[in-house]
Amino acid sequence: MKSLYITSIEKYSGKTSLCLALGKIYQERGLNVGYLKPYSAHPWRIGDNIADEDAAFVIDTLGINAKPWEMAPVVVTSEMLRDHLTAKETVDYLPQVLDTARSLEERRDILLLEGGGSLREGYAIGLPTPDVARELGSAIVVVVKYIDDVCLLDDVLVAKLRLPKALTGVVINRVPQHALSYVNNLVVPFLEKKGVPVLGVLPDDNQLAALSVGEIVDVLKAEVLTACYEEDALVEALMVGAMTEDSALRRFRKQPNKAVITGGDRTDIQLAAMETSTTCLILTGNLHPSNLIIKQAEEMCVPILLVPGNTMETVEALDSIFGKTRLGQKDKLDKFIGFVKDNIDLKRLDKALKD
């Protein structure tokens, strides 16, 4: 069985998205695709079981018949870490991962493995990416998110340093339009001369990084005050309404498809937001808006979400997940698959998996 280990330098670089896109592409070819997340430091409880949320999302989206906790064999909880640190004998978790992977060999044509949040993860409990990938004989692809011109080069070269012999290639992700020429014409040739295979460069896209209104409701535990509510509507930017009405209107006009976060008592800001392209209003402090605002929101089809936290807490909660590419909507997933097909050298990747 072929296996491909997809990892990254930093969190929210696009590993899960690439797993999904490649999984769908391989399924289109008629291959039976498996998925495994060998190590996770982000426990997610499902009933009495501990799993990984990304693993649950991937196997559900790819239609893989498996339990989420089966596809994330080692999930580090605070209790597990304390037990590991105080154990008289060192616990070896690698056999558990290998046994899970080998159990898939008879049923799958290709196994996609998703690394932890970064190449730093896994060392504390003996499951660093290089060791796991080597034991499984996996090709390794590192997803590197563009931050700035210098950071990009450093991040890719760090990946090469940490995986001197095992690196199959890198995918440079979320490159803004203004940097595409620089990356394609200068960075890629430079890295190839350094011995780093660059499999592709994916452009940034606001819609792919957008949050759905449904996701915002889930994260904030919000109460929806309007009958008009489309959970798949996308929010491409967050704006805090803490200024005068005139200033707010000028700023709001510059940003389409936004969520405006403001107090429930700021009727002026709420009206200004609804005069522009606003996906939803988020009202903080459990302060209900006036009936006039709710009526206007219904007419404009702008859902109003009421949250208990203050503005700062609300912004921090959304900032923690905003920008993480989430492909829960079919249109977003299809768009990202198109990006992968158009911009990643899949033939080069196929050859690396055969070698």
Domain range list for the chain: 2-204+325-354, 209-319
CATH label, 2-204+325-354, candidates 3.30.70.100, 3.40.50.970, 3.40.50.300, 3.55.50.30: 3.40.50.300
Kindly report the pTM of this predicted structure.
0.81
Confidence of residue 154 (pLDDT cuts 50, 70, 90): very high
- Smallest Cα–Cα separation from 39: which of 71, 79, 1? 71
Coil/strand/helix, residue 191: helix
77 within 8 A of 43, measured Cβ to Cβ: yes
75 within 8 A of 43, measured Cβ to Cβ: yes
φ/ψ of residue 3, rounded to 5: -140, 140
Domain 209-319 has CATH 3.40.1390.20: yes
State how beta strands 110-114 and 2-8 pair: parallel
The neighbour count for residue 5, using CB atoms within 10 Å, is 26
State how beta strands 139-145 and 258-263 pair: unpaired
pLDDT at 56 over 80: yes
Return the percentage of the chain with pLDDT > 90, whole number.
62
Q: Please report the pLDDT score of residue 333 as a whole number.
A: 87
DSSP output for 47-100: TTEEEEHHHHHHHHHTT--S-TTTS--EE--HHHHHHHHH-SS----HHHHHHH
Q: Which tokens go with 93?
A: 């978790």
pLDDT at 144 over 70: yes
Q: Please report the pLDDT score of residue 355 as a whole number.
A: 73
**Rounded Cα distance, 252 and 61, in Å:** 35
Q: Please report the pLDDT score of residue 211 as a whole number.
A: 84
Are the folds of 2-204+325-354 and 209-319 the same?
A: no
Q: Please report the pLDDT score of residue 323 as a whole number.
A: 57
Beta strands in the chain (DSSP E): 2-8, 33-36, 39-40, 43-46, 49-52, 74-75, 110-114, 139-145, 167-175, 198-203, 211-212, 223-224, 234-235, 237-240, 258-263, 278-284, 304-306
Determine the average pLDDT of the residues in 233-241: 88
Q: DSSP state, 344?
A: B
Q: Please report the pLDDT score of residue 215 as a whole number.
A: 87
CA torsion, ordered 290, 296, 301, 304, to nearest 10 deg: -10
